[in-house]
Chains A and B, each alone.
Chain A
């Protein structure tokens, strides 16, 4: 893990053609608490684990609204995430002001990715240490994107980032193919299941997670705690849950959909 020789500067290449500072920034994302996103044709759901620094502290905000039709979940350096959320909000407002219509999600993520790329090519800057799951609805339907500190972005049917996200990704890989036709309730349930996977045994309560949804006829908003607790209680009642049904399903396709972000070794993550 310690590639000390070429990692002082973000503008220094390694002989293997890697920018270690950028890769280190992506490690920061893996240290943050988990966040998952899923989408159907008409809705997109974001869920995040609320981790507090200590029992005395309140938890960090991980879900931000950028506009009526777009929101983000962050993992990593939350301060960087806050600054980028402000940037996203500004871009959405500017676009609405000039064009009197909502900014298409694909364009928003490109602008965000370009902003991240700048920090990988200036010696006096550092990459943003936060990964963003951008969920939004526009004329072409619901979308979910993942923006890396490297300046790369990918569209996903479902994805998870942050610590212990591999467990959530495994769960999502088994089920993502059916998501296009899912109703909003089924999406929320699966998001909660995915979050449960990252908790590795800890009991899931609505205090521990935050869920937000955006979709047709529904502006981006965070779902209140009571409704989430009701979903969780309903999940507990149905014995075993979807894990047992999933075992009977076809083996997962290990494509970019659902789990492109591999281990920290070859190839360099940003080259995918």
Chain B
């Protein structure tokens, strides 16, 4: 695959999804790490808990992803020392955007989805491109299986157009268990057709009582 001696990136595959609810947020990612047609490991987490109300899932080049997560974790520690409290999800959203754009001319090969609770306790999801362009949305998918998953999420969760008045919230009215079930379904479907998605699904749910983790086995082929 690597014909050039100076190609500094590698795509380790994988898919990340996040869905925002009224008072919860679901962030999920598969745990397969691949290179080309090979699987490097079936048990590698792409999810990083940055703050007690903020979780980041990234797919792409694992070297850059690891460095990006470390960077953000260190910046969060600094913030806690200075302000004596945890960073809110919107604040972390802006910080991630700035961190990504800082490397505009040698980007982090990371496709990110940030999920958590905003200052009012409502679910929020921010979706990013590799250089920091971001938007708050009600749900998002990034990574190799995103093109397979996004249309299904649009079908199930799409809110009316933001041009309609009065403004309607983007968060889904689904309950927490329904959202988790939806996530499990879309990942099972993506696993069928995307070779880089599979093995195991890690689901993280953030709500007022904290962060909860669960796992689901996926197809290993």
Binding site for B on A (CB under 8 A): 65, 86, 89-90, 93, 96-97
Contact = CB atoms under 8 A, between A and B. Distances in A.
B78 A97 contact: no
B interface residue count range (under 10 / 10 to 19 / 20 to 34 / 35 or more): under 10
B78 A93 contact: yes
B74 A65 contact: no
Contacts of A89: 77-78, 81
A93 B81 CA distance: 11
B81 A97 contact: no
Interface string B103-119: 00000000000000000
B70 interface: yes
Nearest to A67: B77
Contacts of A90: 78
Contacts of A93: 74, 77-78
What DSSP secondary structure best describes chain B's contact surface?
Answer: helix
Nearest to B70: A97
Contacts, number: 12
Contacts of B77: 89, 93
Interface in B46-79: 70, 74, 77-78
Contacts of B70: 97
Interface of B: 70, 74, 77-78, 81
A270 B70 CA distance: 40
A90 B78 CA distance: 8
Given A93-B78, A96-B74, A97-B70, 8 more contacts: A65-B81, A86-B81, A89-B77, A89-B81, A90-B78, A93-B74, A93-B77, A97-B74
A128 to B, nearest CB: 19
A96 B70 CA distance: 10
12 contacts: A65-B81, A86-B81, A89-B77, A89-B78, A89-B81, A90-B78, A93-B74, A93-B77, A93-B78, A96-B74, A97-B70, A97-B74
B78 to A, nearest CB: 6
Contacts of B78: 89-90, 93
A90 to B, nearest CB: 8
Contacts of A96: 74
Contacts of A86: 81
Contacts of B74: 93, 96-97
A97 B74 CA distance: 7
A93 B77 CA distance: 8
